[in-house]
Structure formats: structure tokens, C-alpha cells
Amino acid sequence: MIELINLCKAFDDNVVLDNVNLTIKDGETVVIIGRSGTGKSVMLKHIIGLMKPDSGQVMIDGQDVTRLGGKELNELRLKFGMLFQGAALFDSLSVRDNVAFNLLEHRKMDDDSIDRRVAECLELVGLKGIEGLKPSELSGGMRKRVGLARAICMDPKIILYDEPTTGVDPIMADAVNDLIKGLQSKLKTTAIAVTHDMTSAYKIADRIAMLYKGKIVESGTPEQIKNTSNPIVKQFITGAAKGPITEDS
Amino acid sequence: MSGWITHLGERFMSFLHYAGGITVLAVRTVFWTFMPPFKRKPILEQMVKVGIDSLPIVFLTCLFTGMVLALQSAYQMQKMEAKLYIASLVALSLTRELGPVLTALVVAGRVGASIAAELGTMKVTEQIDALETLATNPIKYLVVPRFIALFFMLPLLTIYGDIVGILGGYMIGVWRLNILSNLYWDMTWNPLKVKDIVTGLVKSFAFAVVICIVACYEGMRVEGGAEGVGAATTKAVVISFILIIAADCLFTALFYFGFSF
């Protein structure tokens, strides 16, 4: 279980997270929605320990990530897989070495076993026979899928998705959504995705939470979010130009 | 007046912040250098990039410097009928001073800029964050191989630069100024002592640390996309140049006053 307890983070005067409280149960897929720059990615980075909060806690299976460092934090991170917004593939490595990065760095496996595992992961994301290519030779959608293959290579317990459909065309976005949905049912992992793409959110989420002005203003199933009476959430999900969000900013 | 003092204070604080950041990175790099796992492949790859790939530019720089040194000193030496000493002047200037400094400046421009740009691009494309999420220490994975490669390759490049520079001086001395070949070599090696080469090498070890740490520090703190990468690359080269010259001055004074070389 993942628990964010009174999480606060500010950059100078800009308060990004203001006493955020959120609980994510094992096996649940939670999508955090919100406008660009509201702190969704910052929240993800706190969960995986890339950022330290000003105050508050991030509890993962009873361990406070904010208090961990060095070896303990790295051991915890091995339970995670993370898909970055731009995939963040290592340019200098081939697709095979990108996907197998954790196996090469943290597991003593022979080359054949690594190759088999890489092929399995690439097949899961619908890519075959591209092990020898460099990231610069891949399209945006392929990079996302290779990033996803890297994220699942170590059979993580928790997967974090940072804007999984940003930067890819609508057809590829839907394919990525299907992929995420398929992985969730196949691997039974806990997943947290941040996005402002509502089509994606409705498709992959068990629960949607909206982050606005540093706080979670609404949380519920996709159906509950669709039928919300909260004017802020309503404006965001309908994409209306006029409403409380634009009036406030 | 108060605005001026505030500005000065801010600049001083930013200098302290920078110096602190550089020091922390240097200490962490040395610490992780001795921490397992030890992987040969990334170090060898960096050694090729830093060392082998720098051979042509170091060759040209040091060859021409040796030639220019011989030609410039020939003006005065010929007047004093002492052109034989051109060989000694070229050898000593190169091994003690110009070889280490010029090689370090060339490597700072070529390798330092490339390290800052590569790590900077990795930072803005979240590859460094990705490394951390993959339970891998960015200093161990990115900085240490570059540090070890520079630490061993820069002194080797310096020795290579010294030899090439001396050859440049030889070409002018023997082929243009008509000094006898065996006399030129005698006048090159006779005044040259081990300490001359050692002082040059000690400097180049220090320059290697400066180039690596400054370039990695600048690269790893890039913000703001392509513009930030460009600014960090420029800054890495400029700061390395200044620190190399400052360190050279410090070491020369240290050897002169402290160790009576």
C-alpha cells in the first residue's frame, strides 16, 4: 500500500503540494489528473524518492521513503518501474541494454537469460526484434513502449507512469492505454499514472484523483468523476475554457 | 549603496554554493571510485574517448608549440651565439609548463565540453532521474568512469604532448637552424631531470580532476533544455580554463618555494 500523508513541497514561494493525503491500495490503478504544472510529476518523484518533501511522509508498505537513503532506498526502488514522459531511454545504449539495464546492473544473469527476458518484455509491449537498435532510431511511440518494457523488466510491484500518452498520436495513445491496461491485469501491479489526457484516465483508472492548487480536490471512480458536481473537476474534465480554474488563475 | 552590498552578498553566496557543490561532488566521486562494483568496460570506453580520440589534437597543438618555441627563441639565441640552448629551452618549457597546461586546455575544450553537454542532455531528458529510479547511483555510473579515464589518460597525453613538442623543436632546430642532430638531442636530454617531468605530471593529475569535476558538476545541474545545456557547456570550459591556469600558478609556486625545485 502507498500512503501520502500531509505531503508538502514548495519551490521558493510556489507551493506545489499542500498537505496532500492519498492512499493507493495494492493492485489498484490510480490516475492523478490536473493541469500542466500543478505538481503531478513532483508527486510521482516524491513517491520514488527522487525528491524530498518539505514535510509529510510517503509510506510504502510501512516504510517511509522520505527517511530512506542510499542502499535502503535503492532496494525499495527495485520494487518500482517508472515510465517517464519522454521515455528517458539511455541514448548511448541499445534497446536491449536499456530494457535489461536493471538485470545487467543488479542481477547476476547469463547473457542468454537476459536476452530471453528482454525479448519477453519487448513482446509484451508489442515490439519484436528491435534489440539492436539505438533509441535515436525509434519513433516516439516505440520509445514509450521500450520505456515501458524497461519499467516492467524486473517484475515490479509498483509502476509509475508520467504522462504515458503525451507526445504520441491518438492511435498510438490508445495502444499505450491498452498496453497499460493489459499489463495491469496480467502482472497485478499497483499503478499510479499522472496525465491530463482524460481519455487515457477513463480507460486505465480504477480511481481518479484531481490535484488542484496543491491539494487533492476530488477522488473517485471514473464513473463518479464523470458525474461530479465539483465545478473545478467539471471544468477540467470537459476542457471548458471558462470556469473556476481559469477565473482563479 | 545597500543594493550594491546586497548584490555583492548574493554573488558571494552563489560562489560559496558553487564551491561547496564542486567539493561535495569531488569527495563523492573519490568515495565511489573505491566502492564496488568495479566495471572495466565503461572505464575503457571513456579512456578511448578521452585519450585515444584526443591524440590528433594534442599532436597538432604540441607540435606547433614546440616549433614556435624554437623559432621564437632562435631570435635571441642566435644573437648571443647560443642557439644550441634552444633544445634545452624547448624541452624544459614543454615538460615543466607548456606540455601539461596546453594538453589540459585542449582536453578541457574537447572532452570537458563533451562531458558537460552529454550529462546536461541526460539531465534535461530525465535520463539521470531514470538512472536513480533504476537503483543506480549517477555518480558511480556516470562520473567515476570519466574521472578514472581522465585521471590516467591526461598524464599520458601530457607525456605524449611533451615528446611531440620536443620533436617539433627538433624539426626547426635541426632542419631550419642547422643544429647538429646528436647535439640537439644531447642538449634536450642533458638538462632534463626526472623532477621536471614529475612536476609536469603532478600538475596534469590535478588538471584531470579539475576538468572532470567541473564538467560533470555543470552537466548534472543543467536546467532549462537546450539553452541550459549550451550555457553549461560554455561554463564548464571557461571555469576549467580559469581553474587550470590558477592551479598551474599554485603548483608552480609550490614547487618553486616549497620544494626548491
Cell numbers found for residue B10: 548574493
Instruction: Write down the pLDDT at residue B260.
Output: 55
Q: Can you tell me the mean pLDDT for A197-220? A: 94
In a domain, B237, yes or no: yes
Contacts of B244 by beta carbon, 8 Å cutoff, 6+ apart: B101, B104, B105, B108, B207, B210, B211
- pLDDT reading at A107 higher than 90: no
Q: How far is A42 from chain B (nearest CA, A)?
A: 12
Please tell me whether residues A98 and A68 are part of one structural domain. Answer: no
Query: Whole-angstrom Cα distance, residue A79 to residue A154?
Result: 8
Instruction: Write down the pLDDT at residue B261.
Output: 47
Chain A residues whose C-beta sits inside 8 Å of any chain B C-beta: 45, 48-50, 74-75, 77-78, 80, 82, 84-86, 88-91, 101-102, 105-106, 150
Residues A90 and A134: beta-carbon distance below 8 Å: no
Query: Whole-angstrom Cα distance, residue A231 to residue A244?
Result: 7
Please tell me whether residues A43 and A73 are part of one structural domain. Answer: yes
Residues A96 and A117: beta-carbon distance below 8 Å: no
In a domain, A142, yes or no: yes
Please tell me whether residues A106 and A204 are part of one structural domain. Answer: no
Instruction: Write down the pLDDT at residue A114.
Output: 95
Mean pLDDT rounded to a whole number for chain A: 92
In a domain, B15, yes or no: no
In a domain, A86, yes or no: no
In a domain, B1, yes or no: no
Is omega for the bond preceding B36 within 30 degrees of 0, making it cis? no
Question: Across the interface, which of B130, B135, B137 has its CB nearest the CB of A88?
Answer: B130
Q: How far is A167 from chain B (nearest CA, A)?
A: 14
Residues of B in contact with A84 (CB under 8 A): 126, 129-130
Buried b / exposed e along A56-68 (16+ C-beta atoms within 10 A)? bebebeeeebbeb
Nearest CA to B57 among B145, B172, B164?
B164
Domain final residue pick, A101, A121, A155: A155
Give Cα separations from A74 to A48, A190, B184 (angstroms): 10, 19, 61
Residues B116 and B218: beta-carbon distance below 8 Å: yes
In a domain, A201, yes or no: yes
Domain final residue pick, A132, A155, A178: A155
SS3 sequence, chain A?
CEEEEEEEEEECCEEEEEEEEEEECCCCEEEEECCCCCCHHHHHHHHCCCCCCCEEEEEECCEEHHHCCHHHHHHHHCCEEEECCCCCCCCCCCHHHHHCHHHHHHCCCCHHHHHHHHHHHHHHCCCCCCCCCCHHHCCHHHHHHHHHHHHHCCCCCEEEEECCCCCCCHHHHHHHHHHHHHHHHHHCCEEEEEECCHHHHHHHCCEEEEEECCEEEEEECHHHHHCCCCHHHHHHHHCCCCCHHHHHC
Instruction: Write down the pLDDT at residue B259.
Output: 64
DSSP class of B37: P
Q: Can you tell me the mean pLDDT for A11-17? A: 92
For B243, counting Cβ atoms within 10 Å of its Cβ (0-12 exposed, 13-18 middle, 19+ buried), the class is buried
Residues B153 and B207: beta-carbon distance below 8 Å: no
Contact B127 A88 (CB under 8 A): yes
CATH code of the domain containing A148: 1.20.1580.10
pLDDT in tens, A75-86: 999 999 999 999
Phi and psi angles of residue B80, each rounded to the nearest 5 degrees, phi first? -95, 10
Domain holding B245, by residue range, is 41-51+61-251
Please tell me whether residues A149 and A174 are part of one structural domain. Answer: no
Question: Across the interface, which of A50, A75, A105 has its CB nearest the CB of B129?
Answer: A50
Residues of A in contact with B41 (CB under 8 A): none
Instruction: Write down the pLDDT at residue B256.
Output: 83
Please tell me whether residues A120 and A213 are part of one structural domain. Answer: no
Q: Can you tell me the mean pLDDT for A45-52? A: 95
Strand ranges of the sheet holding A80-83, from the earlier edge strand across to the other edge: A80-83, A158-162, A190-195, A29-33, A207-212, A215-220
Closest chain B CA to residue A102: B134
- Can you tell me which residue has the cell 601530457? B158
Which pTM was predicted? Answer: 0.91
Contact A75 B134 (CB under 8 A): no
In a domain, A87, yes or no: no
Give Cα separations from A77 to A45, A71, A106, A158, B126 (angstroms): 12, 10, 12, 9, 16
pLDDT in tens, A132-154: 999 999 998 899 999 999 999 99
In a domain, B19, yes or no: no
In a domain, B261, yes or no: no
Q: How far is A106 from chain B (nearest CA, A)?
A: 8
Q: Please list the rounded mean pLDDT of every run of 10 residues in chain B (261 residues).
A: 88 95 97 93 96 97 97 90 92 95 97 97 96 95 98 97 97 94 95 91 97 98 93 97 96 81 47
Please tell me whether residues A147 and A181 are part of one structural domain. Answer: no
Question: Across the interface, which of A75, A86, A106 has its CB nearest the CB of B125?
Answer: A86
In a domain, A85, yes or no: no
Query: Whole-angstrom Cα distance, residue A99 to residue A219?
Result: 34
Query: Whole-angstrom Cα distance, residue A180 to residue A196?
Result: 16
Residues of chain A above pLDDT 70, percent:
100
Domain holding A117, by residue range, is 93-155
DSSP class of B173: I
Nearest CA to B141 among B221, B20, B25, B33?
B33
In a domain, B137, yes or no: yes
Contact A88 B125 (CB under 8 A): yes
Residues A234 and A241: beta-carbon distance below 8 Å: no
Q: Which amino acid is at B128?
A: I
In a domain, B235, yes or no: yes
Residues A32 and A194: beta-carbon distance below 8 Å: yes
Give Cα separations from A184 to A33, A222, B103 (angstroms): 19, 17, 55
In a domain, A105, yes or no: yes
Cell numbers found for residue B124: 534535461
Please tell me whether residues A172 and A119 are part of one structural domain. Answer: no
In a domain, B14, yes or no: no
User: pLDDT band for position A249 (50/70/90)?
Assistant: low
Contact A74 B135 (CB under 8 A): yes
Instruction: Write down the pLDDT at residue B75.
Output: 87
Total structural domains in chain A?
2
Residues in chain B: 261
Beta-ladder partners of A50: none
Q: Which of B127, B133, B136, B229 to mutate to test the interface with A (most CBs of A within 10 A)?
A: B133
